[in-house]
Amino acid sequence: MKPHHKNRSRAYARHQRQRVIQRKTKIAIKNTTGFQINQDAMLKEKYIVLAIGVAIKHAHMAIPIATLCSFYAWTNKYAIILMMIIK
């Protein structure tokens, strides 16, 4: 018998999916805005909105708003903008 692979849990799978989403988002956002987004940098709102819109298109998947907000440590203001733009 092969040894049991320890990370086959559902939670781990979910976590992996989140990582893929985050990586794709990060790459897409970097490509669209033309620069690396610093997690503490307060960028111009229109840049962020544009980046998010294009990132979602690039990644070909629905990216949860919570993921975006927590991942880039944005304020509630940006969260509201994202909600408005995505709905």
pLDDT of residue 14: 79
* pLDDT score for 46: 46
4 vs 20, which has greater pLDDT?
20
Within the chain, strands assigned E span: none
User: Residue range 12-27: average pLDDT?
Assistant: 73
pLDDT at 49: 53
Kindly tell me if the per-residue pLDDT of 54 is higher than 60: no
Answer whether 51's CB lies under 8 Å from 29's CB.
yes
Coil, helix or strand at residue 42: coil
Question: What is the model's pLDDT at position 9?
Answer: 81
Amino acid at the residue 20: V
User: What sign does the CA torsion over 87, 26, 36, 39 have?
Assistant: positive
> Which pLDDT value is given to residue 79?
47
The CA angle 56-36-58, to the nearest 5 degrees, is 20
Spatial CA neighbour of 42 closest among 82, 74, 66, 65: 74
